[in-house]
Structure 1
Amino acid sequence: MKEIGQTASQLTDPNSDVPTMTFKVTSIQPITCDATYATQPTGTIIGINLEISTTSNFSGPLIVDGQEGMISFSPYHWKGYAANGTRMNKVDSPAVQGCLSDESKLLPSYMGKGEQLNGLVLLDVTSPTGEVSYDPSGGGGWVWKYPSA
């Protein structure tokens, strides 16, 4: 389990073990949707603030519009777990898609090599406390408790 705002997580080049992407969750907090036509969430909307940096050698696990080497922090790549350990059926919903009036606070859908980003991922979780995990390629991932202090 990763601590909020502590050491950064990394993805490395499989041929050299050199880090090509670092990312850090700096906070996980409940979000109040302020968009004019925001959809009612299923549970609680949480905002996960991330700082992400990729090198010029980064190659992510996704192919987007024919471009290889991309990565996404979109809700699709996250899972939620209630405080009792029960996995949530999903953490993506129409509510996270139109929650904020200022969408510039959100991370882009995909990113590639040589980028530095700081922004939010929104998840619709069914319990006010629990854990979320990020697993971009289905081969294991990282877990954080929410909400963070």
Structure 2
Amino acid sequence: MHPAIKLRHLRVFLDIAAQGSLTAAARAQGLTQPALSRSLAELEALLDRPLFRREGRRLVLTDEGTLFRDHAARALQMLEAGAAALHPRAGGGCRWGCCRRWRRGCSRAWRWNSQAWPRRSPWRSRPGPIPT
């Protein structure tokens, strides 16, 4: 892999390939269209190959783009699996703590918040004082 290719290049490329347009991919990633266009142009310059051809407003993969898509998808999946293997608790549960002095107040607030919002994040709270 070219040392200058970043994960954002792969994610942008795969999103554009899946969506078929820069506008839809920008919406999906929460980025602006010029930022996505610039990332795609950087990737194509690094690979020295056009990955898409424009057909009206649609972007269609070239033969090189199709080949690269398959490899990029596998590489991204392997990287994500490797990161998940290092952090098996990632995405599950929540760990929190506080100093001894505040432990009683923290646990009381946690219990109150858990009862008030049983299916929500414990960090969202409703307005009002914490009962003692």
TM-score with structure 2 setting the length: 0.25
Asked which structure has the greater RCO (Cα within 8 Å, sep 6+), the reply is 1
Q: Which has the larger radius of gyration?
A: 2
TM-score, normalised to structure 1's length?
A: 0.23
